[in-house]
Amino acid sequence: MPSNPGFLRTLLRRPSRTTVFTATATALSLLGDQALYALLPLYFQEIGLLPIQVGILLSANRWIRLFTNHLAERMMGQYPAHLMLAASLALGALLTAVYSFVSSFLILLVARCLWGLCWSFIRHISVMGVASTSEPRDLGQMMGFYNGISRIGSVVGIVLGGILFDVFGFTTTMVVFCLCSFVAIPFALSSGIQSAGAHHTQWKDNRSRSTHLALLTCGFCIGSVGPGLLMSTLGFILLGRYGHEVDFFGIVIGIATLNGLLLGCRWILDTLGAPIYGALMDRAGLHIGAPLCFFLGLSVMLLLSMSNSLAALAVGIIVFFMCGTALATVVSAEASRLGSRLYARYATASDLGAAFGPVIGWTGYELLDIPDLAFILGAFLYTIGLLAAVNAFKRGSITFHRE
């Protein structure tokens, strides 16, 4: 990728007010949720939870979104979008406070399901706001800005959450993030998304039902391999290959630290790289960029399954995350370009993949004694994604206009 600042200034356009404000609100809303993923596995015994209950709590918000994504799509056209976004952000902030003071598994489960409901509305309203206020030729880039800014909330929630937990404890950490999340509400109310939500945009295209199905298949494959399969099994793979400590470029570090560093690259690439990948995809065209990223991703998975080199694994994981970030950015942009209903279906397909990815991977390890099974399964799923992308993003297969 060219690193010339002049090239980047030419490539990137200034994000709109709606994009920046909705992304900032989303980032603030994610603080408590992401901190919970990092801290609950360390704190669950103190509040009397069982390990299986931790797994249920951390996945419940994804399963409920399979239903609530479509509720958000239907309600967006009936009520002011900025008010629904503000209400979802407020409820999400209050749920972070619930995590602080409640130890009952059933109440926590209800809270996690309600957060899934909130996230469906936050994501859907924000993404459709970005789509309706962006020029079609720049939509991939604008969605990249939205994803990049909003993922800062994930990084801060995990990193700052861990620091605050060590210094002040779980309850204080969640209270702090609850208060920070309330700051998202003014951003939602000032984003200009009210007019964006009320503006009627009709997309006319010559795509068949099978082509739309191919787009949803892409979403499932993207969600199942990166956020689902690889994120949940990488630590197990590293432990099986290298033991509890590794010599990482001359420095001896624990395997948990290495796993955290590699997984953290995903959030960094989301934050810094998404706008650039989106802009490059806008220029190259989805008919070239999306199949190319799927092909490169599956090639990396196959190479990782055949090589035990730690350096090759580190580089390969980073390259794969780059492909995944680019795909998630531009395919979600294309789904939003085609309308609110299709985006809701795409989001559900991606959520379904993210929920099933860990199940697919760990069930495979339970049944088959293949150490690198996750890489093989990832390559297989990305092969399906490649075939779907070739069908979904044919040159000249889509025409659209606003009314």
Across 33-42, 46-55, 375-384, the highest mean pLDDT is recorded for: 375-384
Determine the CATH number of domain 12-198: 1.20.1250.20
CA distance linking residue 299 with residue 280, whole number of Å: 21
Taking CA 272 as the corner, what is the angle to CA 235 and CA 299, rounded to the nearest 5 degrees? 50
| Tens digits of residue pLDDT in 296-350 | 999 999 999 998 888 899 899 999 998 998 898 888 888 888 888 888 899 899 9
Secondary element (H or E) of residue 252: strand 251-254
Range(s) of the chain covered by CATH 1.20.1250.20: 12-198, 209-392
pLDDT at residue 187, rounded to an integer: 94
pLDDT at residue 97, rounded to an integer: 93
The pTM assigned to this predicted structure is 0.79
Torsion-angle region of residue 245: left (phi > 0), alpha (psi -120 to 50) or beta? beta
Q: Which two tokens stand for residue 329?
A: 């950015």
DSSP secondary structure string for all residues of 324-371: HHHHHHHHHHHHHHT-HHHHHHHHHHHHHHHHHHHHHHHHHHHH---T
Characterize the bridge pairing of strands 245-248 and 251-254. antiparallel
Burial profile 73-82: b = 16 or more Cβ within 10 angstroms, e = fewer? beebeeeebb
pLDDT at residue 1, rounded to an integer: 44
Average pLDDT, integer, range 79-106 = 93
| Tens digits of residue pLDDT in 360-399 | 887 887 787 777 888 999 999 999 999 999 888 775 454 4
pLDDT above 90 covers a percentage of the chain that reads 32
Q: Which two tokens stand for residue 171?
A: 């309850």
| Tens digits of residue pLDDT in 135-160 | 777 787 888 889 889 988 888 888 88
Average pLDDT, integer, range 242-251 = 79
Length of the chain in residues, anyone? 403
Q: Which residues contact 130 (CB under 8 A, 6 or more apart)?
A: 16, 18, 19, 22, 139, 142, 143, 146, 336
| Four-point Cα dihedral 149, 151, 154, 159, nearest 10 | -70
Average pLDDT, integer, range 254-280 = 75
CA distance linking residue 47 with residue 64, whole number of Å: 24
Across 106-115, 153-162, 257-266, the highest mean pLDDT is recorded for: 106-115
pLDDT at residue 203, rounded to an integer: 40
Which band of pLDDT confidence, cut at 50, 70 and 90, is reported for residue 12?
low
Which band of pLDDT confidence, cut at 50, 70 and 90, is reported for residue 20?
very high
Identify the residue with better confidence: 8 or 197: 8
Q: So what CATH class is 209-392?
A: mainly alpha
Flag whether pLDDT at 263 surpasses 80.
no
| Tens digits of residue pLDDT in 181-234 | 999 999 999 888 764 444 444 444 445 677 788 889 999 999 999 888 887 778
